[in-house]
A and B are shown apart, each in its own frame.
Chain A
Amino acid sequence: MTKKGIIFIIFVASIISIMLIAVWGTLPENTNAAAIDYLEFIEYDGYNEDEEKVKDVKDIVSETSPNLLLKYNYGPDDAYAEIVISLTHSGITYQHDSISKEIYIYYTLDAIQKEEIIIVSIKDQRTQKQDMIILWFQPPGVIIVPDL
């Protein structure tokens, strides 16, 4: 046996120990939580003429800052949701943090240069409740009047 061998064994034992406790040493999850009442994106600029949520990403997304963070919320807080996300642009990818209720959108260099418009949809598979948002690079001179 060598010292490297012992270090390897310690490393493997550490990983297996976490898995052992996760599998055999934890209490079962509570799956009887209530269904959600509402599901919505919470940060947007306003609505377009079709009453769809829109967000201007021109000041957020650039060649040196290609990520966009979208926050959503659902209620009640202790409800159990099965969120599904879809994007209209196949080249642009996303990642979903269900704990923080956040979606990270990763623009490609090509999409930034072409100032692509994308539509992001979220849907709860249990209740079929959904919301969507249009992300666009707002051209200069265009003004969205918020609802009063």
Chain B
Amino acid sequence: MLERLRLLVLLQLNNKSKRFDKMSKRIYASIAIQAVILVLVSVIMTLAIHIIKNIFYIPVNEYFAIFILVLTQSISIIASLLGLTTDLYHSKDNQILFPLPVKNDEIFLSKMIVYYIYELIKNLFILVPILIALGFHQNANFTYYFHIIPITIILPFISVSIATLLTIPFVLIKNYLRNHSLVTAILTILVFVGIFFFIYWIVGQIPIPIRLVQLYNRFIIALTLFMQDVASVGSIYSFVGYVLYSVDIWINYLWIILIIIGLGLANYFIAKPLYFKLTSSSQENTIKKVKEHHKMKESKSLFLTFFRKELIIAKRSPNELINNYSLLLMLPIIMYVLNYIYMGMNRSSMGNDLVLILNVLIVSLIVTGSNTASASAITTEGFEFILLKTAPYDTSKIAWAKLTFNFLFTTLVIIISFMLFSIALPVYPIEDIYMLFIFIILVNTGHILWSLQLDVLNPKLADYATSGSLSDHQNVKKSLSIGLMISLIFTVLAIVSFILIRDLGWILMISAALIFAVNRFISFKTYLKAYFIDIEY
């Protein structure tokens, strides 16, 4: 069994790491480089802790060390959880490993060992330099440095064991959500709402009137207290910390060993037996019987047909929709946080003008940064677009359908954002909220038209059909650049409007946005009529 395990581990390690010929000089060069990296990271960490201690005035003591252990190992557990989920249950090498003359248990164990080795290397390059730097700052004695060695070996075992146990519920939930996109979308929205209320609560703790220096002090105190609280309930990592600082060494080592045995037994009796069952049901090509009921509906117009198609796509892949508009979905949170801080300061009349100008800039940046779906609307049709064009109808209506869908969705999000904003921050002048809302709707309309026009003029149908990816899509980049340019131009206009001609400020802003939107509408209509027919694969 041990020999098979060794071979499996070597097989996977060889597959995932650099290989050197035996007796090659490159091995020594690689070791030397890694030693230099270790020293450099230690120096950087020493400087970082010096800054934490002497500039941020955060106490660097034993509890700080325990907090660092909790933090680094939590990150390690999360990283291992994500990596192990893929490696254990979704990895392509499972298809090669399972037909081999080895037991499923041995594959499971070998994957854990491979992950343990990765985590050990990570700890060597991250945790060890941090612990050395901490020891240096605290004038630690020899035993402190000595205990770093067993701790570096023990900690990856704990994080990999915890992560392996957590992969079971994680994979079950992941598999469920993969098959229930609507539940995923609802959960995502709930997470967004949860984040909003959490931030609403956090921001509500800021004392009014806001003074930045005192606010900074409070933030540092809250951060320190949080670190101390985490450290004082650091569970196994408290035992590790106490070992480092030579507090009841043998009792704490005993606790650590007992926990390790507990984790090992839990993995043996829970994770290992479930491994094969979960792996076989988690592959992409797992066969599932699905009952589908299709109802054919006849549409009254071609535009409605295309519009319904957009709705169906959004319904079938809500995650993609949320992903496309994630920045826009953050709009109410960003608006609320920033304006709470602006309103909390004891502003002069100049401050009030600056609030308006900066709102124009930041909200415009967010809105125009969220129209990437419009800039790739035709491209994402891919190969199907050519089939579509062979139909004996005015298929340019697809562009109007996409435009309408994107406009309605973004407008809905903007309306909700402004409603939430006005409810959450009633001290903000309501007339400014209305005016900013009208202005943003007009800018957004103009930018959607411009973005879609870019894709009508230069769609990358063949590229998308081949790769299925929108990364490095030129129209998306152009749309974002244009959005940035528009935001900056309107900000300059806002400076003129709100500082030089304050009484006519919003009239000028909304008029300019209206001219922009109408201009883009005429331009889009003209280009669509002239060039849609020429779009080729």
A65 in contact (CB, < 8 A): yes
Contacts of B362 in A (CB 8 A): 10, 13-14, 17
In the bound complex, how far is the Cα of B366 from the Cα of A93, in angstroms? 43
Q: When the two chains form their complex, are residues A22 and B477 in contact, meaning their CB atoms are under 8 A apart?
A: no
Q: When the two chains form their complex, are residues B245 and A64 in contact, meaning their CB atoms are under 8 A apart?
A: no
The answer, among B214, B238, B245, B365, for a CB contact under 8 Å with A6, is B365
Q: When the two chains form their complex, are residues B480 and A5 in contact, meaning their CB atoms are under 8 A apart?
A: yes
Q: When the two chains form their complex, are residues A21 and B217 in contact, meaning their CB atoms are under 8 A apart?
A: no
B361 in contact (CB, < 8 A): yes
The answer, among B59, B61, B232, B341, for a CB contact under 8 Å with A64, is B232
A38 in contact (CB, < 8 A): no
Q: When the two chains form their complex, are residues A21 and B355 in contact, meaning their CB atoms are under 8 A apart?
A: yes
Task: Report the minimum CB–CB distance from A52 to chain B (whole Å).
Answer: 26
The answer, among A3, A25, A104, for a CB contact under 8 Å with B354, is A25
The answer, among A9, A21, A22, A110, for a CB contact under 8 Å with B365, is A9
In the bound complex, how far is the Cα of B224 from the Cα of A20, in angstroms? 28
B322 in contact (CB, < 8 A): no
Closest to B209 in A: A26
Instruction: Label chain A's interface by main secondary structure.
Output: mixed
Q: When the two chains form their complex, are residues A66 and B63 in contact, meaning their CB atoms are under 8 A apart?
A: yes
Q: When the two chains form their complex, are residues A109 and B245 in contact, meaning their CB atoms are under 8 A apart?
A: yes
B135 in contact (CB, < 8 A): no
Instruction: Label chain B's interface by main secondary structure.
Output: helix
Q: Which of B104-112, B167-175, B178-186, B342-350 contacts A (4 or more CB under 8 A)?
A: B342-350
Q: Which of A40-48, A75-83, A95-103, A129-137 contacts B (4 or more CB under 8 A)?
A: A95-103
B190 in contact (CB, < 8 A): no
Q: When the two chains form their complex, are residues B345 and A26 in contact, meaning their CB atoms are under 8 A apart?
A: yes
Question: Could you say which of B355, B369, B481 has the most chain A C-beta atoms within 10 Å of its C-beta?
Answer: B369
B220 in contact (CB, < 8 A): yes
User: From residue 52 to 67 of chain B, which have CB atoms closer than 8 A to chain A?
Assistant: 57, 59, 61-63
Contacts of A33 in B (CB 8 A): none
Q: When the two chains form their complex, are residues A3 and B334 in contact, meaning their CB atoms are under 8 A apart?
A: no
B465 in contact (CB, < 8 A): no
In the bound complex, how far is the Cα of B173 from the Cα of A27, in angstroms? 54
Number of interchain pairs (Cβ within 8 Å): 124
Task: Report the minimum CB–CB distance from B223 to chain A (whole Å).
Answer: 10
With A2-B480, A18-B341 already in contact, the answer to whether A99 and B369 are too (CB < 8 A) is: no
Closest to B62 in A: A109
In the bound complex, how far is the Cα of B242 from the Cα of A42, in angstroms? 35
In the bound complex, how far is the Cα of B63 from the Cα of A98, in angstroms? 24
Q: When the two chains form their complex, are residues B365 and A18 in contact, meaning their CB atoms are under 8 A apart?
A: no
Task: Report the minimum CB–CB distance from B469 to chain A (whole Å).
Answer: 14
Interface size bucket, B side?
A: 35 or more
With A6-B480, A14-B362 already in contact, the answer to whether A27 and B347 are too (CB < 8 A) is: yes
Contacts of B221 in A (CB 8 A): 95, 97, 104
B483 in contact (CB, < 8 A): yes
Closest to A113 in B: B247
Q: When the two chains form their complex, are residues B358 and A17 in contact, meaning their CB atoms are under 8 A apart?
A: yes
Contacts of B338 in A (CB 8 A): 14, 17-18
Q: When the two chains form their complex, are residues A6 and B247 in contact, meaning their CB atoms are under 8 A apart?
A: no
Contacts of A110 in B (CB 8 A): 62, 245
Q: When the two chains form their complex, are residues A109 and B63 in contact, meaning their CB atoms are under 8 A apart?
A: yes
Contacts of B63 in A (CB 8 A): 66, 106, 109
Task: Report the minimum CB–CB distance from A118 to chain B (whole Å).
Answer: 14
User: From residue 297 to 318 of chain B, which have CB atoms closer than 8 A to chain A?
Assistant: none
Q: When the two chains form their complex, are residues A9 and B342 in contact, meaning their CB atoms are under 8 A apart?
A: no
User: From residue 190 to 236 of chain B, which have CB atoms closer than 8 A to chain A?
Assistant: 207, 212, 214, 217-218, 220-221, 224-225, 228, 232-233
With A18-B341, A24-B351, A26-B347 already in contact, the answer to whether A67 and B225 are too (CB < 8 A) is: yes
Task: Report the minimum CB–CB distance from A113 to chain B (whole Å).
Answer: 7
Q: Closest 4 A-B residue pairs measured CB to CB?
A: A25-B351, A93-B59, A6-B369, A109-B62
With A9-B365, A10-B365 given, name 17 new contacts (CB 8 A). Answer: A17-B342, A17-B362, A20-B358, A25-B345, A25-B353, A25-B354, A63-B247, A64-B233, A95-B217, A95-B224, A97-B217, A97-B221, A98-B217, A104-B225, A106-B63, A106-B224, A110-B62
A-B contact pairs, 22 of them (CB 8 A): A3-B372, A6-B327, A6-B369, A6-B483, A9-B484, A10-B334, A10-B366, A10-B369, A17-B342, A21-B347, A24-B351, A25-B355, A26-B347, A27-B347, A27-B348, A64-B238, A96-B217, A97-B221, A98-B217, A104-B221, A106-B228, A109-B62
